[in-house]
Structure 1
């Protein structure tokens, strides 16, 4: 028999953050690592392109701040969702405590990223 009043799940919220973090980590992070970690040290870009004043101006802008926050927070939500479900797969049934711990860590890191950008 179908339950006419099913219990609401909070899983769509966590799955949306998981999906956004995974997409960001798969599409944006490799380009960032390529540009800042490989091409810049190899001298493909002019040294003045990434000087402190320009990087600080970018990080202080709205777009730059949102980029930095997203680069930190979204992959963290993705990772903590994987940890939460990975513990279950490894037979560590932590229940609601494990769920709260995983998502609290992601929330704290996200809040710290936002606070850092606003204090910059």
Structure 2
């Protein structure tokens, strides 16, 4: 018979890490799945003339950006990868033995939050 000498902590302390890991995962998923398609369409297919120039006319793009879907797309494109990058930077500093502590955590996540807020303000100004 094998006995386990580990005791189960019945009252674990609360952590804010699930929030940051959730934003990290969402940003990484967005960056891996949506960004390459966006670069393909806007950076390769449109300049090569494969996509009709009328499809990306000012009126159509303006209408898209002022719609709910377009606004969420722009906010997601700007904010989610930034959360991913800042979470990776925060944990990367720790891996490199740069222990910035709470100040580093606040700095990284503040910067990601600032980009998120600026992207929302940008959308509201359109």
**What TM-score, normalized by structure 1, do the two folds share?**
0.97
Partner of 2:71: 65
1:59 CA drift (Å): 0.3
1:26 to 2:26 alignment: no
1:52 to 2:58 alignment: yes
Higher helix share: 1
Superposed CA offset, 1:35-91 (max 9, x none): 000000000011111011110110011100000000000000000000000000111
How many correspondences in the alignment? Answer: 120
Superposed CA offset, 1:95-120 (max 9, x none): 00000000000000000000110111
Pairs within 5 Å for 1:86-101: 86-101=92-107
1:40 to 2:46 alignment: yes
What RMSD in Å do the two structures reach over aligned CA positions? 0.8
Q: Larger Rg: 1 or 2?
A: 2
Give ranges in structure 1 of 5+ residues lacking alignment: none
